[in-house]
Chain A
Amino acid sequence: MFHFNVVTDWIDEFLHTYLLDGWALFIEFVLIGLILLTAYAVLALILIYVERKICAFFQCRLGPTRVGPLGLFQSVADMIKILLKELIKINKVDPLLFRLAAFLVIIASICTFGAIPFDKGLHVIDFNIGVFYLLAISSLGVVGILLAGWSSNNKYTMIGAMRSGAQLISYELSCGLSLMTIIMLSGTMQLSVIVEQQDYAWNIFRGGIPAVIAFVIYLIAGHAETNRGPFDLPEAESELTAGYHTEYSGIQFGFFYLAEYLNMFIIAAIATTLFLGGWMPLHVPGWESFNEVMNYIPPVLWFFGKTFFCVFLALWVRWTMPRLRIDQLLNLEWKILMPLSLLNIIFMALWIIYW
C-alpha cells in the first residue's frame, strides 16, 4: 500500500536537515496552510461542476457544455467572475458584523476541513478528541449565519437566519448522537485510530444493524446541517429570495457558497471516516488474494471514492425530494430522529455486550 506519510516524512526530514527546528516548523505550517486552502478551493470547484452536471442529468438536461471539453472549465470561469465582482456597500448595516459573518462561516468550515484524515500522513490535526473537535468547531458556523441574517437589515434575511439557526441547532443533536453510537463501538475519538481499527471490517459492517441505523440518521441529519436539498427552507427562493445571504455580493457571497459546498463534502468525509473505513481499502477476512488486489488501489483514491459516493447520495436526495415545511422539518428532528438515535445508542450498547 502506498501511504502519503512517505512524502510528508521526507519533506519533514528535508526541512530539518537544512534549517533550525523553529524555522522548519514555521515553513511546514505555512505549507500546510497553503495546501489546505488550495485543496479547499479546488474541491469546491469540482463539487460545483459535479453538482451542476448531476442536477442536469436528473432533470434530463446536459448541464454546462460550452467552456472547455464537457464544460469542465465552467466553474473556473465562474470563480474568476465572482472574484472580479464589486462588493456592494449596503446602507444602514453594521459593517463590522456584516463582514465578520461571512468570515465566521468559512473559518468554521475550513477548521473542520483541516481535521479530516485523507490518508496516513495526510492528516493535519489528529487530536485525542478528534470527533468532538469536529462537532465543536463546526458549531461556530451557526453564529456566522445568524449574524449574517441580522446585520443585513432585511426581513427576508432575518427570517432565513432564524430558520437556519433553529434547523442547525436541532439537527446537530442527532448528528452528535449518531456519531456517539460509533464512538461507543470503537472506544476512541481519535480519527486516525478509528480508521486503523476498521482494517478488516468497516464500522458499518462491524456494528451491524445499529451502525446502519446510525449511518442513515447521520446522512439525514448531516444533509440538514448543510442547508441543502429538501431541508433548504432557510433559503427557499420562492419565499425568501435567498435567505440569509440575500444582501451579500462578490466574494462575500462566494464565501457562503464555498462553505455550503465544502460542508457537504465535510459531512460526506466524516461519514466515510466513521462508518465506511476512511482511507482503508475493502478487506474481507480470509480472502487473502482479494485483499492483496484491493491494496493496489491507493488509500487516497479509496477515501475520495467513498466520499464522492456519499456526496452523490446527498445530490440524489437534493434533486428528487420536494422541500419540507418548517413544522415538518422540526417534527422530523425532535419527534423521529432524536428519539430514534437515543434508542439506537441503547441498542448499540446491547449489541456490543451480547454480540
Chain B
Amino acid sequence: MDPIINLILFTCLGIAMLLLSVFAVSAKSLLRSAVYLLLVLICTAGLYLFLNYHFLAAVQLSVYAGGVLILFIFAIFLTNSKDTLMEKHRLQKYAYGALAFIGGVAVTAFALMKHKFLYATDAGVEGDTEIDMKMIGETLMGTEKYQYLLPFEVLSILLLAAIIGGILIARKR
C-alpha cells in the first residue's frame, strides 16, 4: 500500500484509540465506559487488520467484543442500579494518576528508543505477507520445538477449573 495512505489510516486509528481510551476512564456512567472500551477494542482489531494479521483481528473481535465486553455489560446490568454515577475523585487521586501516566509514558518511550526496528533500516523487507491459518493451527497443536500444545492444554484446564469454581460458588444450596 501507499505509504501516505498507510500513515493517514494509522493516524486516524491512533487518534480514535487515544480519545476513546480517555473517554473510557473519564465517562460518568459505568455502561458508557464499557461502550467506549468496546470501541477501543474494535480500533485495536483495526490495527491488527492494518498489519494484515486477520486472524488476530477476528480473535480480538470475537473474544473481546463478543465475549468479555458482554460479560462486563451483564455484570453492570446485574449489580448497578440505573442512577448510580461514579463518585467524584479527590485531588490526591488526580496527582497519583498523573504520576502513573508520566511513568507509563517514560517506560514506553524508553522501550521505543531502545528497540531496533527490523523494517526501519532495511526498506527491502516486506511486512505484507499474511500468515497462513494452517501454520497457526499447527503451531498451536504441535508437540515439537516452538510449538504450543502443552501451554494450550494447561490454559484450557485453568479455564475449566475457573468455570467449575464459578458454578460451585453461584449454585443454589
Contact = CB atoms under 8 A, between A and B. Distances in A.
Given A143-B70, A165-B70, A189 B65 contact: no
A192 to B, nearest CB: 14
24 contacts: A22-B2, A94-B29, A94-B32, A96-B32, A127-B54, A127-B58, A128-B132, A128-B133, A129-B58, A132-B58, A136-B58, A136-B59, A136-B65, A137-B61, A139-B62, A140-B42, A140-B65, A142-B70, A143-B35, A143-B70, A146-B74, A147-B35, A150-B73, A165-B74
B151 to A, nearest CB: 21
Interface residues of A, number: 30
A146 B75 CA distance: 12
A146 B70 contact: yes
Contacts of A169: 70
Contacts of B140: none
A139 B61 CA distance: 8
Contact of B38 (A129, A143, A172): A143
B44 to A, nearest CB: 13
A326 B130 CA distance: 44
B35 A100 contact: yes
Interface of A is mostly: helix
A153 interface: yes
Interface string A111-146: 000000000000000011100110111011011001
Interface of B is mostly: helix
Contacts of B82: 153
Given A136-B62, A143-B65, A128 B130 contact: yes
A162 interface: yes
A137 B58 CA distance: 8
Interface residues of B, number: 26
Contacts of B55: 128-129, 132
The 4 closest A-B pairs by CB, nearest first: A139-B66, A136-B62, A136-B61, A136-B58
B35 A133 contact: no
Interface in B36-76: 38, 42, 54-55, 58-59, 61-62, 65-67, 69-70, 73-74
B141 interface: no
Contacts of A158: 77
Interface in B67-94: 67, 69-70, 73-74, 77, 82
A172 B62 CA distance: 11
A100 B36 CA distance: 11
Interface string A60-99: 0000000000000000000000000000000000101100
A189 B42 CA distance: 22
Contacts of B2: 21-22
A189 B54 CA distance: 12
A352 B73 CA distance: 41
B5 interface: yes
A188 B134 CA distance: 8
A289 B132 CA distance: 39
B77 A133 contact: no
Nearest to B36: A96
Given A150-B77, A153-B82, A143 B32 contact: no
A98 to B, nearest CB: 11
B51 to A, nearest CB: 14
A254 to B, nearest CB: 22
